[in-house]
């Protein structure tokens, strides 16, 4: 069983579209995260939810909106996609900061 | 602002050689983590360090949590081709809660 699974793995879309990425973890973790990896491979946190409550919200455009329906799920919705949004987005989870585990990533390409 | 520097940015070595990479932080870390990322995959945890001075091994990998709590190194002994990938240090600053901060990564290439 995959511990942190995110879908889709690849997403190609046109500028201006709205898209969502889904993430699920089966580790029983209480905190979930979204990270963005740019073309230089730098990983930067975007959001974090603890027990469905938003606890970290970095400087991210309002077009990005996370939603956590329950502890095991954290989705990322992006409105009005721009070329600069192209990147790899990683979901991760942890239990009070321990056992930090990442999904395999979603490669978003905006054309 | 707080900074986390990782070096070297890239390494090209021959199979069988030992490798060393390190990270230094401008502020004290509570935890140091070392991850490896293979192409098309997410980072995978290699070693976790929780106490200053801690030295931990995982097979051919050894990592240490610096005494000052501002640095850490990762050594790989007798490298093999499957060690190829990007290695990241990461950690939690004292004031950052569960916000994990990553170094810039070290791209390792191993020539057979």
Structure tokens at B19: 């490798």
Residue A22's CB: how many other CB atoms inside 10 A? 16
Poorest-pLDDT segment among B66-75, B77-86, B93-102:
B93-102
pLDDT averaged over every residue in chain B: 93
- pLDDT for position A1: 67
Kindly tell me if the per-residue pLDDT of A38 is higher than 80.
Answer: yes
Q: Tell me what the mean pLDDT of segment A14-28 comes to.
A: 97
Kindly tell me if the per-residue pLDDT of B66 is higher than 80.
Answer: yes
Q: Tell me what the mean pLDDT of segment B47-64 comes to.
A: 96
Kindly tell me if the per-residue pLDDT of B34 is higher than 90.
Answer: yes
Residue A108's CB: how many other CB atoms inside 10 A? 21
The answer to whether A44 and A56 are in contact (CB under 8 A) is no
Q: Do A100 and B45 touch (CB under 8 A)?
A: yes
Q: Tell me what the mean pLDDT of segment A34-44 comes to.
A: 93
Q: Write out A1-63 in H/E/C secondary structure.
A: CCCEEEECCEEEECCCCCEEEEEEECCCCCEEEEEEECCCCCEEEEEEEECCEEEEECCCCCC
Q: Do B100 and A90 touch (CB under 8 A)?
A: no
Q: Tell me what the mean pLDDT of segment B52-65 comes to.
A: 96
Cα separation of A20 and A8, whole Å? 9
Please identify which residue in the block is written with the tokens 């909106």: A65
Enumerate the residues of chain B whose CB falls inside 8 A of the CB of residue A42: 102, 104-105
Cα separation of B57 and A7, whole Å? 34
Residue B112's CB: how many other CB atoms inside 10 A? 7
Furthest C-alpha separation in chain A? 38
Residues of B with CB under 8 A from a CB of A: 31, 33, 35, 37, 40-45, 86, 88, 90, 92, 97-102, 104-105, 107
Interface test mutation site (partner B, options A38, A97, A98, max chain B beta carbons within 10 A):
A97
């Amino acid at each position: 069983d995959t511990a942190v699974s995110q879908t889709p793995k690849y997403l190609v879309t046109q500028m201006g579209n709205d898209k969502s990425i889904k993430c699920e973890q089966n580790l029983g973790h209480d905190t979930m995260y979204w990270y963005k990896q740019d073309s230089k491979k730098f990983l930067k946190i975007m959001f974090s939810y603890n027990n469905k409550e938003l606890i970290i919200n970095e400087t991210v455009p309002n077009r990005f909106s996370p939603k956590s329906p329950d502890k095991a799920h954290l989705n990322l919705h992006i409105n009005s996609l721009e070329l600069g949004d192209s990147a790899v987005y990683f979901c991760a989870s942890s239990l009070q900061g321990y056992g930090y585990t990442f999904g395999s990533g979603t490669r978003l390409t905006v054309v | 602002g707080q900074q986390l520097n990782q070096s070297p940015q890239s390494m090209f070595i021959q199979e069988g050689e030992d490798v060393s990479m390190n990270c230094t932080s401008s502020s004290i870390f509570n935890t140091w983590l070392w991850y490896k990322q293979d192409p098309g995959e997410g980072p995978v945890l290699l070693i976790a360090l929780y106490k200053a001075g801690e030295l931990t091994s995982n097979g051919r990998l050894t990592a240490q949590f610096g005494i000052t709590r501002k640095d850490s190194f990762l050594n790989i002994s007798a490298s093999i081709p499957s060690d190829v990938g990007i290695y990241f240090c990461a950690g939690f600053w004292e004031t950052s809660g569960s916000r994990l901060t990553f170094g810039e990564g070290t791209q390792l290439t191993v020539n057979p």
